[in-house]
Amino acid sequence: MKQFDIIVIGAGSGGLVAATTAHRKGLKTALIEKNKIGGECTHYGCVPSKALINTAKSFHSLKKMNSLGISVDLPKPDFGEIMEKVDEIVQGIYAHETPEVFEDIGIDVFVDKSGAKFIDEHTITIGEETLEAKNFVICTGSGPGIPNIEGIDLVSVLHNENFWELRTHPGKIVFIGGGVISIELGQSLARLGCDVCIMDRNDRILRVTDEEIGNYLCRQIEKEGVHLITESSPVRFTDKNTMVYSSNGEEKTLTADHFFIAAGRSPNISGMDLEQAGVTYNERGIDTNEYLQTS
């Protein structure tokens, strides 16, 4: 059995910092990941979204040239090519985050799709390996929360992870949830010629921001053609392109080529057998004290 001073579970932004810091402090360190090192930020969040935003912003700037007296014949965006370029940027970042990069500096890296499972408070398994440590840092993050909507199995729903696999123009897309992900991707897609609708159950979009700022941003994206629907919630899907939703007690229908779920996040702790280590948790995540220590 391999023994370590500390094992970091989850190799996203938090896990990479935790593992490299522990290693620099002289601790024998292991890093565990079930998918790709780099996690949400590198593969599904910060990096690809900002790459797409930048492309859409550049194209939007071209569209404004004609109003400034500069004649521009606008090409049609090649969505598949745009997404390939986004992926190239992601892979360029990932080249600095491969398992070999961390193994070369002395961190033991274990990647297996089975993920980490606790046997007791000091022992875990990952694939066919059994590892022991004095301490663990759990940095597994969160994933897209998929609400239990009637008929959702009829729809190939998009979320912030599988969206980046698209290679054909989305056409008309409805975002369910009016947070940051919906706003930044929605505006980008509208700038690239998509018909975009963003729906939220609250009385305003972007409730996570200051109200004045949020309202200003909403006015701006509406000017760019994004349709906003507030105080409305999905009721059911009747087929892959049709959603019935409730607005002020009245049922209405929306049709789209794609439905993007951005209605919250769920903790990535399923299957870890946390109870074997005496760690308490609920549907919102792991219980911690003021020092982020578990039970």
What is the edge-to-edge ordering of all strands in the sheet holding 123-126?
108-111, 29-33, 2-9, 129-138, 123-126, 116-120
Confidence (pLDDT) at 67: 79
**Is residue 261 domain-shared with residue 276, that is, in the same domain?**
no
Confidence (pLDDT) at 68: 84
Q: Is residue 155 part of a domain?
A: yes
**Is residue 158 domain-shared with residue 103, that is, in the same domain?**
no
User: What domain count does the chain have?
Assistant: 2
**Is residue 253 domain-shared with residue 273, that is, in the same domain?**
no
C-alpha pair distances (Å), 167 with each of 66, 86, 193, 219, 279:
29, 11, 15, 30, 42
Q: What angle do CA 237, 238, 244 make, to 5 degrees?
A: 55
**Is residue 229 domain-shared with residue 259, that is, in the same domain?**
yes
Q: Is residue 88 part of a domain?
A: no
Q: Is residue 60 part of a domain?
A: no
Confidence (pLDDT) at 191: 97
- For each of the chain's 295 residues, which pLDDT tens digit applies? 899 999 999 999 999 999 999 999 999 999 999 999 999 999 999 999 999 999 999 999 998 887 788 888 888 899 999 999 999 999 999 999 999 999 999 999 999 999 999 999 999 999 999 999 999 999 999 999 999 999 999 999 999 999 999 999 999 999 999 999 999 999 999 999 999 999 999 999 999 899 999 999 999 999 999 999 999 999 999 999 999 999 999 999 999 999 999 998 999 999 999 999 999 999 999 999 999 999 8
CATH number, position 275: 3.50.50.60
**Is residue 136 domain-shared with residue 220, that is, in the same domain?**
no
**Is residue 119 domain-shared with residue 210, that is, in the same domain?**
no
Whether residue 180 contacts residue 268, with contact meaning beta carbons closer than 8 Å, is answered with: no
Confidence (pLDDT) at 70: 87
Q: Which domain holds residue 118?
A: 2-38+97-141+268-286
The DSSP element (H or E) to which 16 belongs, if any, is: helix 13-24
C-alpha pair distances (Å), 118 with each of 11, 109, 129, 217, 267:
17, 17, 12, 45, 17
Confidence (pLDDT) at 39: 95
d(CA 7, CA 28): 9
**Is residue 133 domain-shared with residue 192, that is, in the same domain?**
no
The DSSP element (H or E) to which 19 belongs, if any, is: helix 13-24
Question: Please, what's the b/e burial string for 254-265 (b: 16 or more CB within 10 A of its CB; e: otherwise)?
Answer: bebebbbbbbeb
pTM value? 0.92
